[in-house]
Structure 1
Amino acid sequence: MKRKRKKRVLGLMSYMIALVIVGSGLLMYRNYTQQVTIERQEARYQKLSKEMKHLTIDEYLARDLDIKQIEKVQKKVNTEKDKVVQSKYKVLQDKLSLINTKLALQEAVNSLFKTPALNGLTLIEEELKDNITVSDIDKIDLSVLPESVFKTTLVQLKSEAKTKIEVVSEETNDENEDDVAYN
């Protein structure tokens, strides 16, 4: 009877040891697959971030950037949505949203001038279009942008445009006063 008991105890211990070995093996395999998944997600995030960096230079937009280029990157980000960690996907979406906003505001400010005043890092002092008014300039709301060098540049361009309109208005008023004085 003691032999049977010993055999039973040894069998149970062998079973327990085998169970521990199999369990730890499964746990290690699960941890490994999670690590591989995380590495893949990080690699995809880095790839998408790299593509987004081509849309900007420092805080400015890339030269000759247009909405089609942004939409192309947006499609890539959307297709990788399930393959990137959700929090990092949100970061990519926020960056794209900011780039879209910057592009819209840059185009609005550039539309005040005969040729674009800001393109990439290039800032050119240009003439205003003939039919621009102060109210046209005031319609451009830059408050949606976070404080940055880019925002400061757009604010500066708006302010220069207002100054040019005021100078032209004063010159026109002076000419009209001179005409009235001669008549």
Structure 2
Amino acid sequence: MAVQLAGFLSAGQGPAAERSPVAAGNRTVTEYAPEDRGEPVALSGTGLTGEAIDIAAWRGDVVVINVWGSWCAPCREEAPILAATSAAYADQGVRFVGINVRDNSAAAIAFEESYGINYPSIDDSNGKALLSLAEHLPGAGVPVTLLLDRDGRPAARVLGAVQESTLTALVDTVLAAPIAGSS
């Protein structure tokens, strides 16, 4: 079941009621109740500089997955927000990973360097990373951001450019929740 974030987005408070996803400008924000999050997400691939990335190793941390392309204007809009938020939460058990679509490595790396993005991105020129997330990103274009709880399950999704207040509020909410099965 999706939880509407209208009150959350407009008043800076928690979700007002259980409803459909809320459209906020040119983006749609959906938060999933813990009982509706399903199984942990499997995502792995090769980073832009050739390193192996597998988010299964990050269980216990909140994970923010951002799908982007250097040619995407909304991706350029949100890139400084993602870089700053990643840095702000670096020592709080929050990991960020990008999924780059359609860029060659040089263009993708130049984009990350120009925005100060220090977290890894998967090179998804073969489409396998997006395919592994198809259940959670049906028909989504770019950018799209998926937050995973500390059990690796989808906790929230933002279709379109994420705003700083939205991202930090979602991260704070997911970070504050207990790990499933813990007291």
* TM-score, L = length of structure 2: 0.20
- Indicate the structure (1 or 2) with the bigger Cα radius of gyration: 1
Larger relative contact order (C-alpha < 8 A, sep ≥ 6)?
A: 2
Bigger share in strand: 2
More helix by share: 1
